[in-house]
Amino acid sequence: MATLVDLAESFEGPSSMFSHVFTSVSNFERAFAFYGAVLGELGLALRFHEPAKPWAGWHSAGGTRPYFVICKPFDGQPHTAGNGQMVAFAAENRAVVRAAYQAALLLGARSKGEPGLRPEYHATFYGAYFRDTEGNKVCVASHGAE
């Protein structure tokens, strides 16, 4: 079985492990503005935006999956942020981690960990953590040496 260090050393970019990831929100307009700016810093492109539904999704490089989607909860119940749940976005390098983190803070995110090395994960793991405007925990991370 591969260790975290083995996986980090073989990292070549975002994984195709997922088809899509949904994150629920209460205030769709605010969340759309937030994620539009943060994901723009990561070079992700808007795939669809349907405010009447409401939902919006961004895709990976080349217009392929996986998608990241925000929406109101399907069951119509109020959104609540999950304890112990987090979405982690891959960044091309450490400068992109810092740019995405700063964009998030400017749009109302709460810091849960400034950009920096996290050697407890592996020697070149560089990440930043924040809570989005809806309370969801988000990480932006780069795995390469810089």
Q: What is the pLDDT of residues 77-125, one digit of tens each?
A: 888 988 788 999 999 999 999 999 999 999 999 999 999 999 999 999 9
**Domain span at 54:** 4-142
- Those residues whose C-beta lies under 8 Å from the C-beta of residue 3, and which sit 6 or more positions away, are none
Q: Which amino acid is at 55?
A: W
pTM of the model: 0.82
- Which of the pair, 14 or 83, is modelled with greater confidence? 83
Q: List helix spans (H) across 45-112.
A: 94-106
Rounded CA separation 43/39 (Å): 6
Q: What is the pLDDT of residue 3?
A: 44
Asked whether residue 21 carries a pLDDT value surpassing 80, the answer given is yes
Asked whether residue 65 carries a pLDDT value surpassing 90, the answer given is no
Task: Decide: 138 and 146 in contact? Cβ < 8 Å.
Answer: no
Number of domains in the chain: 1
Rounded CA separation 53/58 (Å): 16
Q: Which CATH number characterizes residue 138's domain?
A: 3.10.180.10
Q: How many helices (H) and strands (E) does the chain have?
A: 3, 8
Task: Decide: 55 and 68 in contact? Cβ < 8 Å.
Answer: no
- Residue 116: CB atoms within 10 A of its CB come to 13
Rounded CA separation 38/23 (Å): 15
